[in-house]
Amino acid sequence: MDLHGIVSPVIGAVNPLVPVVIQVSTGYTTNADYKQVPSYADPVTRQGQVQPLSTGDIRHIEGMNLQGVERAIYIHGAVKGLIREEEVGGDLITLPDGSIWLVAVVLEQWPDWCKVGVTRQNP
């Protein structure tokens, strides 16, 4: 049962869903001076909802040494956080205002949606 699909319209009355562009990380390439350059799959657009981090979310990520502006985004579908040993994750999300956010952690994962903790990237 897609509970998120049921509650989204109600929550959306206060905080609407917006189109978000997701670029899934495909790892990296190495340029001529041996610097690693991230690479991404073609962007896809999904519906998402940006919210502030809850107290529990903040406690969950405070040991990750993240700095900057953090938010939570609820997204229809799945997005990956950074998993170093599998060399996956680090997906990018672009919001309608053009700001780019790095998926730092998956806070909740369900069959139809996920909640991710993101950190704003410098332009």
Highest mean pLDDT among 40-49, 66-75, 109-118: 40-49
Mean pLDDT score, 105-113: 87
Q: Give the model's pLDDT for residue 100.
A: 94
Structure tokens that stand for 13 in this block = 């009355």
pTM of the model: 0.79
Highest mean pLDDT among 1-15, 62-76, 99-113: 99-113
CB 79 within 8 A of CB 22: yes
Lowest mean per-residue pLDDT among 63-67, 98-102, 116-120: 63-67
Which residue in 98, 79, 70 sits closest to 41, CA to CA? 79
Q: Give the model's pLDDT for residue 75.
A: 92
d(CA 119, CA 101): 5
d(CA 71, CA 91): 15
Segments forming the whole domain that contains residue 56: 3-120
Q: With left for phi above 0 and alpha for psi between -120 and 50, is residue 43 left, alpha or beta?
A: beta
Q: Where residue 29 sits, what CATH number does that domain have?
A: 2.40.10.270
Highest mean pLDDT among 38-52, 55-69, 75-89: 38-52
Domain total of the chain: 1
Mean pLDDT score, 44-72: 76
H helices of 17-85, in order, are 55-61
